[in-house]
Amino acid sequence: MGFLHKGHISLIKESKKRADVTIVSVFVNPTQFAPNEDFSKYPRNIDKDTLLLIQEGTDFLFYPPVEEIYSKNHQTYVEVTEITKILEGEFRPTHYRGVTTIVAILFNSIKPDFAFFGQKDAQQAAVIRQMVDDLKYDIEIIECPIVREDDGLAMSSRNIFLSPSEREKALIINKSLTHAKDLITSGEHNVKNVIKKINNIFINESTIHLNYLRIVDSETFKEIEKLEEGNSYYVLVAAKVGNTRLIDNLLVQL
């Protein structure tokens, strides 16, 4: 959705490794924002984005106006069920319908061979993968690793909204994920025990409001009770730091 950072640039670099032509779409999608969310405030800087894309050797920028994507008589939406009802879907019930609709429109407009998404929104990547499989798109979905600041904060366009003190507090999110991974890799495979210990990190932080802290199967995103060797799992966190909602995750492979 623009306001590009190193996380986005990593997707471009991966595309240039695999494909002959790299196209970047920049579109702040109104249908994935609820009325009480920050659509109007979402950061935008298309001039800076364009310069970054040129510097990275991007072949094309697709920057359509809203009315080109959604006509006044727009009536059609794409909806993935089940996986969109949990986690982010619990807190943002209309969000993924907007995501799958815009991604389907972009896919139909551009007809790519590959599409690159960041792991930071791991559930979104899984939702899109499901849509691609169900609707028989001939597109390979490539999920790229999270890119972090030097201090561990996951890069996000919304980080600009954090005050200096909030920015410092936000580091707790990644620290909690790292602690969860340490617990799991050291042999704690009871999910309730891991969640309880990690939740304690947030209890005394009044500036952070935890939406959820979950451990899920990396394929289905369903919660599990016990971690098993040979499987992989996501530790997922969504939290509001001040007025800014952040998400982060860590993939754990046993």
* pLDDT tens digits along 83-92: 999 999 999 9
CATH of the domain at 164: 3.30.1300.10
| Range 228-254 average pLDDT | 95
Range of the domain at 48: 6-144
Contact 252, 230 (CB under 8 A): no
Residue 61 inside a domain? The answer is: yes
Whether 69 and 138 map to the same domain: the answer is: yes
Predicted TM-score of the model (pTM):
0.93
Report if residue 152 sits inside a domain.
no
Same domain, 139 and 190: no
Inform me whether the pLDDT recorded for 186 exceeds 90. yes
Whether residue 178 sits in one domain with residue 126:
no
- Sequence-separated (6 or more) residues with CB below 8 Å from residue 73: none
pLDDT digits (tens, 9 = 90+) for 170-183: 999 999 999 999 99
**Residue 153 domain flag:** no
What positions carry a catalytic annotation? 8
**Considering its fold, how many domains does the chain have in total?**
2
Q: Let me know whether 101 and 22 are in one domain.
A: yes
Share of the chain above pLDDT 90, in %: 93
Q: Which of 146, 134, 161 is nearest to 237 (CA)?
A: 146
Q: Does residue 21 share a domain with residue 118?
A: yes
pLDDT digits (tens, 9 = 90+) for 195-210: 999 998 898 888 899 9
91 lies in some domain: yes
Residue 210, beta-bridge partner list: 239
Instruction: Tell me: do 174 and 208 sit in the same domain.
Output: yes
pLDDT band at 37 (very low <50, low <70, confident <90, very high): confident
Shared-domain flag, residues 44 and 125: yes
Same domain, 108 and 18: yes
The domain that holds 43 is classified in CATH as 3.40.50.620
DSSP E strands in 63-108: the ranges are: none
**Based on the domain organization, do 39 and 127 belong to the same domain?**
yes
- Are 212 and 236 a contacting pair, CB within 8 Å? yes
In sequence order, the β-bridge partners of residue 223 are 216
**Which region, left, alpha or beta, applies to residue 2 given φ > 0 means left and ψ of -120 to 50 means alpha?**
left
Instruction: Note whether 77 and 176 are same-domain residues.
Output: no
Q: Are residues 24 and 134 in the same domain?
A: yes
CA distance 60 to 25: 8
Examine residue 223 and state whether it is found in any structural domain, yes or no: yes
Residue 138's pLDDT band, with cuts at 50, 70 and 90, is very high
Domain stop point among 81, 110, 144: 144
Q: Count CB atoms within 10 A of the CB of residue 47.
A: 8
Q: Is residue 109 part of a domain?
A: yes
Q: Is residue 154 part of a domain?
A: no
